[in-house]
Amino acid sequence: MHPAFRAVVVPCFLLSAAAAQAQQPAAKITISGYVRDGATGENLIGVAVVSPTTGQGTATNTYGFYSLTLPASDSVRLVASYLGYERTRWAAATTRNISHDFRLRATSNELGGVEVVGNREERIERSTRMGTINVPIAQIKSLPKLFGETDVLKVLQLLPGVQSGGEGQSGLYVRGGSPDQNLILLDGTPVYNAAHLFGFFSVFNADALNNVELIKGGFPARYGGRLSSVLDISMKEGNMQEFHGEGAIGIVASKITLEGPIKKDTASFIISARRTYLDVLAQPFIKAQLSSEGTSGSVGYFFHDLNAKLNWKLNSRDRLYLSAYTGYDKFYARIRDQDNSADDYSRTAANLGWGNLTSGLRWNHIVHDQLFMNTHLTYSKYQFNVGAEDERRYNNQGQRRTDKYALRYLSNIRDFSLKTDFDYTPTPDHYIRFGGQYILHSFRPGALTAKDNTGNLGSQLNSGTRTLASEIGLYAEDDYRFTDRLKVNGGLRLNGFAVEGKFYPSIEPRVAARYLLTEDWALKASYARTTQFIHLLTNSGIGLPTDLWVPATKLIKPQRAQQVSVGAARTVRFKEEDYEVSFESYYKPMRNLVEYREGASFLGTVDSDWESKVTSGKGWAYGGEFFIQKKTGRTTGWVGYTLAWSKRRFPDLNQGRIFPYKYDRRHDISVVAIHKFSPTLTLSGTWVYGTGNATTLSQGRFTLGPYQDFEDYGERNSFRMAAYHRFDLDLSKTKKKKWGEIVNSFSIYNVYSRRNPYYLYFDPGSTYTWNGVTEERKSVYRQVSLFPIIPSFSKAFKF
């Protein structure tokens, strides 16, 4: 162990253990186990398990495990409660440690008789966590859909502090950060590119998911490697009781999910697949158009996803999981002249493909009643490639000649990771987590190969050098209740990154605290220092996969940030229903951010070192977020408002002056409502408003000579596009069948057909004379809008 790591980590463990031991009397018993869905056997995350006798409680971890240590007595009573499930009680006469698994039943769909039980452990003011929001999968599926596709990331864009990149895009810009600053985990494995269809859909199939949690600030020490957010997504584990399936048919894609027991109560599986059929539907029209032009071939685009998971319960203390995800996008164009025997003949082909592959093997082990261990071995890969071919045959003075050219560009990043985490709960006042992780990164920023007209495959312009880097992380944290009013989550993360003979250490303290002013009001504060050892080089504004993942090097330092947050939270009860209300303000300075130099792009990296194409600078993000959410009753939803600033400064950009970040938005508003008219009829709607994106436009044009026009762009990002706002609706009707149910959904995207700006282009104007009259059309910037009002229909089914 590195001396700096040992000097800090060992005292942390000793202090935590000593504090826990000092508070633990000799006469104690521990009750531990799992909390699962009674119908499917699925582990439930964040379930409150409370002793009504002592008032002490805990919550299940990411894997559904709980451990609660109580004063010894002749008997013990526990209550488990979870939103959307019936409260479950359990009692036993015992004076020794005991294991008990809860099976919770989902609440009935009958609106009149549902009792939704809350618990203090679930209330927002009781938690030390800040900037953390959990969105139920059922709520995600109920909201309006673009082209009939449920999209997890588009729902997260409706939360305060989270912005989209532009019209229809699924990228996340969290608290002034960029997309590469989001740690996106699918079953604990990082996903590097989370977008399909050039950024308009995310890679996550909601039917295969169990839990979605977004952390915007106050990061616990167990998370590292990114500056702006953590998106932790868990896949379903597979029904251990019965075989079930669900799916949907939409305008652009269809999907199917199957799950069931391999051996009842012992092993289960789930497999989920999705594919678009835009290429199939469009082919007849494309072929007809090509034929009318005297050519033949095909042009198309598609994407597909496949999620799979195996869950095996070895015994009461051990469980194995094997999960995998693969997704791929492909655009292709193959066009040739119909008469391939003619002297004058041409053929062209182009393709653009990108995709993710993730896999993980996880072992859960209960070391003893108070100590839970999770060991995770993962592999992750993201790759994109671009290819083009051109063949031309012609008659040159009686001699037929053929010229052939081909080009291929390839880029990828691969990760191998081993991580072990421990959850230790010595008393209800202590929840200690510690562990470590090792990651082997393999970067290949770009490789370009070419063929010439001789067909020579050896004409290699760039070998695509592979760079290896090692990342190590150790952490410890304790969620400690000092008094009934004061609770603190304190932790420390130690990171190290070795690349090209250079070692970058990082010491990252993390702390979050809440103080109860009253039973309903809490003040909260947090501080986190974060480091990111990888960079995403991008100058694409529309989500194209021409982005290059590169490591910190001897010349390019890792990104670093600090974030301070303060706020208040409370639960308001109005007409027998609870509303969660919170306000947070934050300040986040960042340094060693990376941008392309003026005029550089990913294409420029193939003939020289990418490090010479970038420049490093600083950034600042600060603002405030207001959030009110209603989780129960016939009408649910939320209202969010964000007031924010995001700025950048690079010595080699904008003459070294501070400029607004491209996605700096002063105001963001989102209103989300879901209303159940009956158990089978649901209406939902969303309305969003955002200040227009910042962009750089030419302020003047001058000419130095023939064909030498130059633009004067002035200050970087000094112009604002028009404000963005949109209203969406969705009406869903459920039909019960003997074999299951069908859900018909009708969505309208952009109900009042707002012409939101997608990008601006310069129209130089013109001057012409007709019948002696001269007319001049002035030069002007014109706005391109992407989506008008778009109705869509989808049919989902379950059996």
Per-residue pLDDT of 377-401, as tens digits, reads: 999 999 888 888 888 887 776 677 7
Domains of the chain: 3-122 (2.60.40.1120), 132-798 (2.40.170.20)
Please state the rounded mean pLDDT for residues 355-365. Answer: 94
Distances in Å between the alpha carbon of 522 and those of 160, 212, 392, 519, 630? Answer: 20, 25, 73, 8, 18
Residue with tokens 């601006």: 760
Q: Are 322 and 364 in contact (CB under 8 A)?
A: no
> Cβ(382)–Cβ(192) under 8 Å?
yes
Q: Is this prediction's pTM over 0.85? A: yes
Is the pLDDT reported for residue 674 higher than 50?
yes
C-beta separation of 426 from 452 below 8 A: no
User: By percentage, how much of the chain surpasses pLDDT 70?
Assistant: 88
When pLDDT is averaged across residues 175-183 and rounded to a whole number, the result is 90
- Average confidence (pLDDT) over 287-310: 87
Choose among 658, 662, 626: nearest CA to 642.
626
Phi, psi of 18 (to 5 degrees): -65, -40
Q: Which pLDDT belongs to residue 337?
A: 83
Q: What is the DSSP letter of 106?
A: B
Residue appearing with tokens 């490639």: 385
For residues 738 and 121, the model is more confident at 738
Report the sign of the C-alpha dihedral through residues 525, 529, 532, 537, in that order.
positive
Amino acid 46: pLDDT: 86
Distance CA 250, CA 206 (A): 14
Q: What pLDDT does residue 631 have?
A: 83
d(CA 668, CA 693): 12
Q: What pLDDT shows up at residue 13?
A: 45
Work out whether strand 577-596 and strand 98-99 pair parallel, antiparallel, or are unpaired. unpaired
Higher pLDDT, 445 or 158: 158
121 pLDDT above the threshold of 60: no
Q: Report the alpha-carbon distance of residue 716 to residue 721 in Å, rounded.
A: 14
Those residues whose C-beta lies under 8 Å from the C-beta of residue 423, and which sit 6 or more positions away, are 61, 65, 67, 371, 372, 373, 374, 431, 432, 433
pLDDT confidence of residue 451? 66
Closest CA to 237 of 309, 333, 161, 342: 309
Give the Cα separation of 326 and 323 in Å (integer): 11
User: What is the pLDDT averaged over residues 752-769?
Assistant: 82
Residue 18: predicted pLDDT: 44
Q: Is the pLDDT of residue 11 over 70?
A: no
Both tokens of 689, joined, read: 């408003």
User: If pLDDT is split at 50, 70 and 90, which confidence band does 629 have?
Assistant: very high
What local confidence, expressed as pLDDT, does residue 704 receive? 65
Would the pLDDT of 623 be above 90?
Answer: yes
Q: Is the pLDDT of residue 232 over 90?
A: yes
**What are the E-state strand segments in 38-145?**
48-50, 57-59, 65-71, 76-81, 88-92, 98-99, 102-104, 132-134
Reading phi first (left if > 0) and then psi (alpha if -120 to 50, else beta), residue 143 is in: beta
Q: Quick check: 365 pLDDT over 60?
A: yes
* Residue that has been written with the tokens 């106050």 in this structure: 218
| DSSP-derived 3-state class of residue 284 | helix
pLDDT of residue 141: 87
Cα–Cα distance measured from residue 581 to residue 571, given in angstroms and rounded to the nearest whole number? 6
Q: By C-alpha distance, which of 47, 32, 51, 57 is closest to 428? A: 57
HSE toward the beta carbon, residue 666, CA cutoff 13 A: 7
| Pairing, β 700-705 against β 757-763 | unpaired
> Which residues are within 8 A (CB) of 567 and not within 5 positions of it... i.e. 6 or more apart?
130, 523, 524, 525, 582, 583, 584, 585
Residue type, 757: P
* Per-residue pLDDT at 706: 61
pLDDT surpasses 60 at 260? yes
* CB neighbour class for 582 (10 Å; exposed up to 12, middle 13-18, buried from 19): buried
Q: Which of 119-123, 310-314, 589-593, 706-710 has the lowest mean pLDDT?
A: 119-123
Cβ 443 vs Cβ 426: under 8 Å: no
Residue 708 has pLDDT above 70, yes or no: no
The span from the CA of 184 to the CA of 73, in Å, is 45
| Cα separation, 145 vs 745, whole angstroms | 9
Report how far apart, in Å, the C-alpha atoms of 250 and of each of 149, 273, 524 are: 7, 14, 44
> Would you say residue 193 has pLDDT above 90?
no
Is the pLDDT assigned to residue 60 strictly greater than 80? yes
State pLDDT tens for residues 522-579: 999 999 999 999 998 875 444 455 567 889 999 999 999 999 999 999 988 887 788 8
Distance, in Å, from the CA atom of 360 to the CA atom of 325, rounded to the nearest integer, reads: 9
- Provide the sign of the torsion angle of the four alpha carbons 116, 119, 124, 130, taken in this order: negative
Identity of the amino acid at 638: W
What local confidence, expressed as pLDDT, does residue 528 receive? 95
Residue 628 · residue 579 · CB < 8 Å = yes
pLDDT at 452 over 70: no
Alpha carbons 355 and 329: distance in angstroms, whole number? 6
Q: What is the pLDDT of residue 597?
A: 83
- 577 forms beta bridges with 574
pLDDT at 10: 45
The 10s digit of each residue's pLDDT in 213-223 is: 999 998 999 99
Q: DSSP for 180-199?
A: GGEEEEETTEE-S--EEGGG
CB neighbours of residue 116 within 10 Å? 16
What is the C-alpha to C-alpha distance for residues 390 and 450, in angstroms, rounded to an integer?
12
Least confident of 16-20, 111-115, 150-154, 285-289: 111-115
Calculate mean pLDDT across residues 756-769: 79
Whether 70 and 428 have beta carbons less than 8 Å apart is answered as: yes
What is the structure's pLDDT at 195? Answer: 82
In three-state secondary structure terms, 357 is strand
Range with the poorest average pLDDT among 199-203, 217-221, 469-473: 199-203
Pairing of strands 253-263, 430-451: unpaired
DSSP result, 629-694: EE-SSSEEEEEEEEEEEEEEE-TTSGGG--EE-TT--SEEEEEEEEEEEETTEEEEEEEEEEPPPE
Structure tokens at 190: 């990082």
Q: Which carries the bigger pLDDT value, residue 576 or residue 113? A: 576
Please answer whether residues 69 and 24 qualify as being in contact, where contact means their C-beta atoms are separated by less than 8 angstroms.
yes
Sign of torsion over alpha carbons 152, 154, 155, 156? positive
End-to-end CA distance of the chain: 53
Question: What token pair was written down for 407?
Answer: 């080009």
C-alpha span between 690 and 167 (Å, rounded): 11
The whole-angstrom distance between residue 180's C-alpha and the CA centroid of its chain comes to: 10
Mean pLDDT calculated for residue range 414-424: 95
> Mean per-residue pLDDT for 659-685?
92
Query: For a pLDDT cut of 90, what percent of the chain falls above it?
Result: 43
Dist. CA 402–CA 215, nearest whole Å: 58
What mean pLDDT is predicted for residues 348-365? 92
CA distance 669 to 466: 44
